[in-house]
Amino acid sequence: MQIDILGSVTVTVGEQTREVRAAKVRTMLATLALEARRAISCPELADELWADHEISNTANALQAHATRVRKVLDGPSRTRSASLLRSVPGGYLLDIPADRVDSHRFLQLASDGAAALTANPERARVLFESALGIWRGPALLDAGDGLRCRSAATLFEERRLTVRELLASARLALGDEARAIAELQRLVAQHPLSERFCELLMLALYRAGRQSDALYLFRSTQRRLDEELGVRPGDSLQRRYSEILTQDPALVRSDALWARHRPSGRDGLVAIR
């Protein structure tokens, strides 16, 4: 049994993928999968499925959707008493290990990769690539508009962005500037106001012998920050510019990737979960 939510919501048993056609069934299944083996109360599930809409009999409506979820999960052979979807006092619980849900596996691989990055960038590269390979599309693509699923989708997309950044860092640590540049150019194009992406791409360009391109990138980012936000580049980005301008020998060392970049929030090396 595997439940995938990094893309459309799907259930796979063996080699068979079971279609989840009903929107509310997808929402209920995804909400429970986010908290595998943890009970979710009926009011929380109701909020996710119907938000501010009035439902005449919430308990019956949830029970009906739970029956449909069980049909998807269990197939025709499993009895209700042995179902993977369990009724618990005041709520429901999806009784599967967390690693049977792709989002949990993604977070674990990302966390392991971040922990390995400075000491073993090759292992980190493999872990990051495996984490990104799990994705099939936007997180919780068809799981509805409930607050819990939308918040989770935003979190997963942020973590995905972090992993892409850290994968580029791992490639740089391994001397693979060409692939790092290709990935960082995509990130900068998608997030042109991100100073961290700009800084990493400048370093990659410099290490690839493209000092003038690195300096041009700084100036274009500086101009964009001024025009769109009315701010100057931060200290870290300005220092990187000065180092590249003067061809600082420290730029070729691996610790140039993270000497001034400690774990904190989205950009952190280990703040991944």
Residue type, position 98, single letter: A
Tokens of 102: 């792709």
The C-alpha atoms of residue 113 and residue 38 are separated, in whole angstroms, by: 26
pLDDT in tens, 17-56: 887 899 999 999 999 999 999 999 999 999 999 987 777 7
Question: What does DSSP assign to residue 41?
Answer: E
Tell me which of 7 and 83 has the higher pLDDT: 7
The C-alpha atoms of residue 46 and residue 68 are separated, in whole angstroms, by: 16
pLDDT in tens, 153-197: 999 999 999 999 999 999 999 999 999 999 999 999 999 999 999
Tell me which of 256 and 178 has the higher pLDDT: 178
Tokens of 37: 């083996």
Strands, E, within the chain: which ranges?
2-4, 10-13, 16-18, 40-41, 85-88, 91-94
Find the range with the poorest average confidence among 85-99, 210-224, 248-262.
Answer: 248-262
Whole-structure pTM value: 0.87
Going 94 to 98 to 99 to 102, the CA torsion angle's sign is positive
Q: Which CATH number fits domain 175-273: 1.10.1740.10, 1.25.40.10, 1.10.3720.10, 3.40.50.12170?
A: 1.25.40.10
Q: What pLDDT score was predicted for residue 257? A: 81
Q: What are phi and psi of 35, to 5 degrees?
A: -125, 50
Any idea where the domains of the chain sit in the sequence?
2-98, 175-273
Report in angstroms the alpha-carbon separations of 114 from 156, 262, 269: 16, 12, 5
Query: Could you tell me the fold of the domain covering 2-98?
Result: Arc Repressor Mutant, subunit A (1.10.10)
Does 273 have pLDDT greater than 70?
Answer: no
86, β-bridge pairs: 93
The C-alpha atoms of residue 264 and residue 90 are separated, in whole angstroms, by: 38
Q: How much is the average pLDDT of 57-85?
A: 82
CA dihedral 219, 220, 222, 223 (to 10 degrees): 120
Q: What pLDDT score was predicted for residue 37? A: 93
